[in-house]
Structure 1
Amino acid sequence: MPILKTPKGLEILRFVLSDTPDVPADDQQVPLTWAIIVARYKAGYVFAYNYNRKQWELPGGKLERGETASEAIQRELREESCQIANWVVCKGVFKIRLEPDRGGKLEYGALYYTELDELHPFKPNNETNALTISDPSHDTEGVTSPWSRWFIHMAVSD
């Protein structure tokens, strides 16, 4: 039974609290392939508008060859939102099933958290064309999806 299922069918199957982005010992056959970050700024969180998927998203993406999850998330935050984190902390790893109706490829992702001291100017790029700061508890414009709210909750919970 999934923890969460998105309207597009993506399923979160497991979450393991951890300060390192390591796949659990009992699941080593499933690769860690991407990372996502909850970046707090003042009373809200950074969201970038992905115009290809037509939705607001937390910054994140695939790990490039030879890149650690920490390096990937710093790069993704910079590329997708033009923001620079002075530090990032791993909050855990999550197992997802992609396209369950087509066999469901399994992957792990790493969840990171940071707090930004300043907001850098945003420049549209090949993935995102807008930036906003939103607080899920006061979101009247539909910026935060259940997927994003779940990641925020997991990142800020102790």
Structure 2
Amino acid sequence: MTDAREVPLVTGPRRMALLSFDDAAELPESAGYEDVPTGYVLVVLWHEGRVLMVYERERACWELPGGGIEPQESPRAAAVRELREETGQWVDEAELRFVGHTRTAIGEARTVLGGAVFTAELRRPRPFTANDEVSAMHWRSGSEPLPGAGLVQTVDEYIVELCREKPAH
């Protein structure tokens, strides 16, 4: 397990640092970290070779869809809920493939949070409607520039590449 003072795998805007990534073969979905609870989820959603990125209003940053896990909610259920709330896209829990666990340091205090990363392939995207949290979404190919202004969360880009290296087949 990684200490928050160790060198991160990658850093990003808004004082975010990815401290570790343990893939599903190393740390199963049901395990998680012993010292840091799994408090958030990320969804790497694919459609025709492109990954879904959302523009998060408050952070003014392009990122992966995801968010906090509610009390009594499983990470898998949180991934489905967050994806639907942020983007209007629907996937069934069974369609999600668990990719791995993350440890992320956030903010000035470098608070360490545990996360669960899921991926899925979407056959038919639904239309997007802006909401209080997300003002835009974009199906991104590779590292193409994203529309409009705003930062891109490089921590999430790093996670996308880790998922790209682990095909769902």
CA 21–42 in structure 1, closer or farther in 2 if over 3 Å, else same: farther
TM-score, normalisation: structure 1: 0.88
- Give SS of 2:137's match: strand
CA distance in 2, matches of 1:105, 1:141: 29
CA distance in 1, matches of 2:132, 2:14: 22
Q: Which residue of 2 aligns with 1:69?
A: 75
Q: Which residue of 141, 145, 157 maps to 1:140?
A: 145
Determine if contact 1:83/1:120 at 8 Å carries over to the other structure: yes
Identity %: 24
Q: Which residue of 1 aligns with 2:50?
A: 44
TM-score, normalisation: structure 2: 0.82
Q: Which residue of 2 aligns with 1:23?
A: 32
Q: Aligned residue pairs: how many?
A: 152
Gap regions ≥5 residues in structure 2: 1-6
One-letter amino acid of the counterpart of residue 18, structure 2: I
Determine if contact 1:21/1:90 at 8 Å carries over to the other structure: no
One-letter amino acid of the counterpart of residue 45, structure 1: V
Higher-helix-fraction structure: 1
Determine if contact 1:34/1:62 at 8 Å carries over to the other structure: yes
- Give matches, 1:108-147, under 5 Å: 108-137=114-143, 139-141=144-146, 144-147=152-155
